């Protein structure tokens, strides 16, 4: 956590301005096309959207579905990891939401706090969205393209891309030979990496659009004074914030922050730091991968972390849309919000069970942590919450689902109501 004073919600005031422009720029439109293009995977069967959907699965019988930017197969079936472009290829980590990811600062060491902050991925190894968006194309358990030139050759097949790259970036796709015409051992033309990098830039621009960053959950309208929490939700937020109770806001801040220009940013429910909350291993991941060492497992961090102080730490993820993004945690070991909340409350007080396949998992006990080093015992693990208090915290987290005007059935926030915030992302 970052040791910032928690602001009281009652003291906050908001600017009621029109919602951020939802029309996409030309670069964002290119980004959207790339994000959805299955031709950019080796078997032409997978795009970013496959694992970070732009349309939702219904989370409530009466509701319109809200996009959660996760793998719908996982949220529907409870499977922890996604399938790749190549049959039977699977990763070892649960796909986090691409929604609100744009707010993660560039990965850095914070001198004042003495901890790592920001970056993309569970271990922060991509500094920002542009670096992140280049990885899935070439990842053998994801889109599995052999190299950048092969990706650029797929781009070349689409005349619309050729036009857009020329207009936006003065890069001529037609001037690059297709990789299938390459001579034996021919090096990729220099411009290839430039084109590849700009494709990632366009995707990142799209991920910064209002489509991924809606700020129109019930929570946002309550903060703006437009509607009210139920008694249970209000109790849940109080417990979430209370350092003597849930203490969730220590790492998932629920208060307004201010950007460099003094503008108010609604809470993202993450401080973008890293922690080992003692997640048990998930034996349901195909191939039972080795324990994931997180931030401290990165080669670059390992070199400068002789005490292994970062081992087992993963990025604190945003809790926006959390109700519709099961399963939970970097390895998807928790099936429900009730279960992960019970874990925070009783990790250190329940008995032990051998693993997450034991019938007593989460009922009579918890397995040992995936990585035993650096488990946080100061802020979580034995919260002393009653069952009713756990329930209230879960009820509160369910207010963080976007598109509340559409699914909330709340006369104070009719369908089409705009977000109370204007947030631009640089």
Beta carbons of 217 and 320 less than 8 angstroms apart:
yes
Q: Quick one: 224 or 279, whose CB is closer to ligand HEC?
A: 279
- Residues 381-384: contacts with CB under 8 Å, at least 24 apart: 381/278, 381/344, 381/347, 381/348, 381/349, 382/345, 382/346, 382/347, 382/348, 382/349, 383/245, 383/246, 383/247, 383/344, 383/345, 383/346, 384/245, 384/345
Closest contact distance (angstroms) between CB of 42 and ligand HEC is 11
Distance CA 355, CA 277 (A): 16
Q: Quick one: 47 or 216, whose CB is closer to ligand HEC?
A: 47
Q: Quick one: 297 or 405, whose CB is closer to ligand HEC?
A: 297
Write the binding mask 236 to 275 for ligand HEC: x where contact by CB under 6 A, - elsewhere.
----------xxx-xxx----------------------x
Closest contact distance (angstroms) between CB of 292 and ligand HEC is 8
For 315, what's the count of Cα atoms within 13 Å in the CB-facing half-sphere? 27
Exactly one of 56, 84, 296, 405 binds ligand HEC (CB under 6 A); that residue is 84
Exactly one of 67, 72, 80, 96 binds ligand HEC (CB under 6 A); that residue is 96
Beta carbons of 38 and 211 less than 8 angstroms apart:
no
Of residues 1 through 60, those in contact with ligand HEC by CB under 6 A are 1, 46, 48, 50-52
Write the binding mask 313 to 352 for ligand HEC: x where contact by CB under 6 A, - elsewhere.
-xxxx-x--x--x--xxx------x--xx--x--------
Q: How far is CA 374 from the centre of its chain?
A: 23
Closest contact distance (angstroms) between CB of 186 and ligand HEC is 26
Q: Is 102 exposed, middle or buried (0-12, 13-18, 19+ CB in 10 A)?
A: buried
Stretch that binds ligand HEC, among 4-12, 96-104, 280-288, 418-426 (CB under 6 A): 96-104
Distance CA 84, CA 345 (A): 35
Beta carbons of 390 and 188 less than 8 angstroms apart:
no
Closest contact distance (angstroms) between CB of 349 and ligand HEC is 14
Q: Tell me the two tokens of residue 388.
A: 């009713």
203 binds ligand HEC (CB under 6 A): yes
Of residues 116 through 135, those in contact with ligand HEC by CB under 6 A are 120-122, 129, 132-133
Q: Pick the closest to residue 148 from 111, 100, 113, 199 (CA basis).
A: 199
**Interacting residues with ligand HEC (CB under 6 A):** 1, 46, 48, 50-52, 82, 84, 91, 93, 95-96, 98, 101, 104, 120-122, 129, 132-133, 136-137, 142-143, 203, 246-248, 250-252, 275, 277, 279, 314-317, 319, 322, 325, 328-330, 337, 340-341, 344, 376, 379-380, 393
């Amino acid at each position: 956590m970052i040791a910032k004073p928690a602001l009281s919600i009652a003291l906050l005031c908001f600017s009621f301005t029109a919602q951020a422009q939802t029309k996409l720029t030309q670069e964002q439109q290119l980004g959207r096309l790339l994000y959805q293009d299955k031709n950019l995977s080796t078997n032409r069967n997978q795009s970013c959207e496959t694992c970070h959907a732009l349309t939702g699965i219904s989370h409530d019988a009466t509701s319109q579905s809200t996009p959660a930017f996760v793998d719908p197969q996982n949220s529907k079936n409870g499977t922890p990891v996604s399938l790749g472009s190549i049959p039977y290829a699977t990763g070892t980590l649960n796909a986090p939401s691409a929604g609100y990811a744009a707010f993660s600062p560039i990965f850095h060491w914070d001198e004042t706090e003495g901890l790592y902050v920001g970056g993309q991925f569970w271990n922060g190894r991509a500094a920002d969205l542009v670096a992140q968006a280049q990885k899935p194309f070439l990842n053998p358990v994801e889109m599995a393209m052999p190299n950048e030139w092969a990706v650029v050759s797929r781009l070349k097949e689409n005349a619309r891309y050729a036009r857009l790259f020329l207009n936006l970036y003065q890069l001529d796709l037609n001037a690059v030979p297709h990789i299938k015409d390459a001579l034996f051992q021919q090096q990729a033309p220099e411009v290839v990496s430039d084109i590849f990098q700009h494709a990632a830039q366009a995707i990142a621009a799209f991920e910064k659009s209002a489509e991924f960053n809606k700020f129109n959950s019930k929570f946002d309208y309550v903060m703006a004074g437009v509607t009210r929490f139920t008694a249970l939700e209000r109790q849940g937020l109080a417990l979430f914030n209370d350092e003597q109770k849930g203490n969730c806001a220590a790492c998932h801040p629920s208060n307004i922050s201010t950007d460099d220009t003094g503008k108010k940013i609604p809470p993202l429910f993450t401080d973008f730091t890293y922690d080992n909350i003692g997640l048990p291993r998930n034996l349901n991941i195909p191939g039972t991968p080795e324990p994931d060492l997180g931030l401290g497992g990165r080669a670059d961090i390992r070199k400068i972390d002789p005490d292994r102080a970062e081992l087992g730490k993963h990025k604190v993820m945003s809790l926006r849309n959390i109700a519709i993004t099961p399963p939970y945690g970097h390895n998807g070991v928790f099936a429900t919000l009730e279960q992960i909340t019970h874990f925070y409350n009783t990790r250190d007080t329940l008995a032990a069970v051998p693993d997450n396949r034991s019938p007593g998992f989460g009922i009579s006990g918890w397995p040992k942590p995936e990585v035993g080093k650096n488990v946080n015992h100061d802020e979580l693990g034995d919260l002393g919450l009653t069952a009713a208090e756990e329930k209230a915290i879960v009820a509160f987290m369910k207010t963080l689902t976007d598109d509340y005007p559409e699914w909330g059935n709340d006369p104070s926030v009719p369908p089409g109501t705009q977000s109370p915030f204007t947030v631009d992302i640089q």
